Amino acid sequence: MLIPITDFASPALDDYARRTENQLKNREHPEAGRFIAESPLVIGRALDAGCRPISALMEARQAEALADSLLPRLGDIPVYVGAFDLLTELTGFQLTRGALCVMERRPLPDPASLCRNARRVAVLEEVENPTNVGAILRSAAALGMDAVLLSPACADPLYRRAIRVSMGTVFQIPWTILPEGSWPEKGIRMLHEQGFRTAAMALRDDARTLDDPALAQMDKLALVLGTEGDGLKRETIAQCDFALRIPMEHGVDSLNVAAASAVAFWQLRK
């Protein structure tokens, strides 16, 4: 149902124009949480994953172009339309490919259940930049990881920027957020109980290098990556089975966590 935008103050547009992403997430009532998917490609991947749309906001000419493809998949939800400049003024940013869609958040899966049949798992500790979280999830999906676990202090994978950077692969790889207070001790114990060896990506003299052939022989391996600046906490490294580093040249000591994850995922793929 196409609805031309005539009133910026309409409460129906609050999700796009006046609610922050934390307000959309609705921490106090997560069952009512929402997120925004941006661009026809990402919206399509969210629909493929079973996410339920609530409303959409589109540039008028984009709605026309999608009349026979995406719009029928949205069902009878309201689709608000307007000119590009109007939507930019309303939302405060330029829409990627002229389309946004508010969708319902689904309950997060249990970490243990998510890992039960996995062989290669990535664990993110306090990765606070949504761009890095989105890039890591995209690499994880593309390069053979079975699941991703995030500590509670990580940026939300369903923040609009994280979804956009992931190109919608956030809907294609299983992931979940670990319960408050469970990381690192309880989370690492859960991984060990499921038969995983845990490898902490860390710059340590005793760290194995990523090209160690023994790594490929490990049936179940969890790769633990830390925050952008300080890396993993000492207590996390101490509880992992061993440390792991990427061999470097030209005096470079480390890579950005998103770049490091892609290198490691490629080397450790199934």
Convert the pLDDT of each residue in 128-167 to its tens digit: 999 999 999 999 999 999 999 999 999 999 999 999 999 9
Task: Report the pLDDT value the prediction gives residue 97, as an integer from 0 to 100.
Answer: 65
CATH architecture of 111-268: 3-Layer(aba) Sandwich (3.40)
Task: Report the pLDDT value the prediction gives residue 270, as an integer from 0 to 100.
Answer: 65
* CATH for 2-104 (3.30.1330.30, 2.40.10.220, 3.40.50.1000, 3.30.1360.120): 3.30.1330.30
DSSP 185-221: HHHHHHHHHTT-EEEEE---TTPEETT-GGGGG-SSE
Task: Report the pLDDT value the prediction gives residue 228, as an integer from 0 to 100.
Answer: 76
Answer yes or no: same fold for 2-104 and 111-268: no
Q: Look up the pTM and report it.
A: 0.92
Instruction: Walk along the chain (270 residues) and give the pLDDT tens digit of each residue.
Output: 899 998 878 888 899 989 999 999 988 888 899 999 999 999 999 999 999 999 999 988 889 999 999 999 999 999 999 887 877 777 776 666 689 999 999 999 999 999 999 999 999 999 999 999 999 999 999 999 999 999 999 999 999 999 999 999 999 999 999 999 999 999 999 999 999 999 999 988 899 999 999 998 999 999 999 987 788 999 999 999 999 999 888 878 778 999 999 999 999 986
How many helices (H) does the chain have, and how many strands (E)?
12, 12
Task: Report the pLDDT value the prediction gives residue 14, as an integer from 0 to 100.
Answer: 92
Strand pairing class (53-59; 79-82): parallel
Please give the C-alpha separations between residue 243 and each of 93, 108, 207, 270, in angstroms, as whole numbers: 42, 29, 5, 20
Domain ranges for the chain, please list them.
Answer: 2-104, 111-268
Dihedrals phi, psi of 3, to nearest 5 degrees:
-130, 110
Amino acid at 242: F
Which helix (DSSP H) or strand (DSSP E) does residue 53 occupy? strand 53-59
